[in-house]
Structure 1
Amino acid sequence: MCGPSDCTDAERDAAYEVGRLLAARGAVVLCGGYSGVMAAVAEGARSAGGMVVGVLSRADREGAAPGLSAAIATGMGEARNAVLVASADAVIVIGGSWGTLSELALAMRRGDVPVVQLGGWQVLDEHGEPLPGIRRAETPEEAVRLAGG
């Protein structure tokens, strides 16, 4: 689950619901582990009894979301996005930020997992057309379904 630390209320609500739905299906939820979308997905997953692992950019756990089941302090900065995406069976992106866009790009480059986008920035080709391969969802339920959950 990827998304910005600075998000809208609608993005926060969607992330909470995605986390809840994933946990209800028995998925272990991975996220960046801080505030915003990341904290909301952690809260949602924990509300359904799920496990949430935060892959932190810092070398310590300062600022980690309280809903995490486990936190991995990588000390890698934004490079931790590669660790997060490489560890996922599917990637759901909610909202938009530069870090979120990098996670989306890394997931697409990986090429062997579903990549689902709920809201956020739309990546267009040189003709103004959406890039193929990104599955667009309108609701949290659709995002989880498109991710294979």
Structure 2
Amino acid sequence: MRRIQIAVIGYNKDRCTDEARKAAYEVGSEIARAGAVLVCGGLGGVMEEACRGAKDNNGLTVGIIPEDDFSYANKYCDIIVCSTIGFARDFIVAGSADGIIAVGGGVGTLTEMTVGYMMKKPMVAVKGSGGTADEYGGRYLDERKRVEIMTAASPKEAVRMILERIKENAGLGHDNLPDTA
């Protein structure tokens, strides 16, 4: 059976806050403990910290980088996809996930959220992590109300919520959720 894939999106290296780094690390740790695969944009900031958290907990990480050279990926990526398509790689990150967790972020994060929204992917924003996550958490992106961007008070809650929603969407119910305690 295919493993659940959760995208972690958020601030890049230049804009990442200490709060977002800490939250991203914890999100990555919880994803690994749940036995899911972490998917991200493969670079620094939230992406690197989430991957580091996953690797510290024996998780599997996939980085989908915008460049054509593996060396751009952060050192915690197990699998590196050199998309060669620049910012358009945001579509691949969102499309490759069963669910999306936002930690802070700017316009790139918003792009990934928009793609997830159009595809009706479950999304959770970590409250208090700043940027796009705080701005759009608890909202729909437009009047069509395709999928609400849920908010979580903690990284652990974010992973629990996204797993529940993914399982519900797959018709698996709560009894089959991995233990994230």
TM-score by length of 1: 0.91
| 1:3 and 2:14 are equivalent in the alignment | no
Deviation per CA, 1:60-86: give whole Å up to 9, x if none: 123211111111101010111111111
Q: Distance in 2 between matches of 1:8 and 1:83?
A: 25
Instruction: Give the one of 14, 21, 40 matched to 2:23.
Output: 14
Q: Distance in 1 between matches of 2:136 and 2:24?
A: 21
Percent identity of paired positions between Structure 1 and Structure 2:
35
Assess if the C-alpha contact under 8 Å between 2:124 and 2:158 holds in 1.
yes
Q: Distance in 1 between matches of 2:85 and 2:153?
A: 33
1:36-55 to 2 correspondences below 5 Å = 36-55=45-64
Q: Secondary structure at 2:159's aligned position in 1?
A: helix
Partner of 1:148: 163
Partner of 1:77: 86
Paired residue total: 144
Assess if the C-alpha contact under 8 Å between 1:114 and 1:146 holds in 2.
no
**Structure 2 counterpart of 1:110, one-letter code:** M
Q: Distance in 1 between matches of 2:84 and 2:139?
A: 34
Two-structure CA RMSD over aligned residues (Å): 1.6
* Greater per-residue helix proportion: 2
Give the unaligned 5+ runs of structure 2.
1-7, 165-181
Instruction: Give the one of 105, 117, 123 matched to 2:136.
Output: 123
Q: Secondary structure at 2:136's aligned position in 1?
A: coil
Runs of 4 or more, structure 1, over 6 Å off, are none
Q: Distance in 2 between matches of 1:79 and 1:19?
A: 24
1:24-103 to 2 correspondences below 5 Å = 24-103=33-112
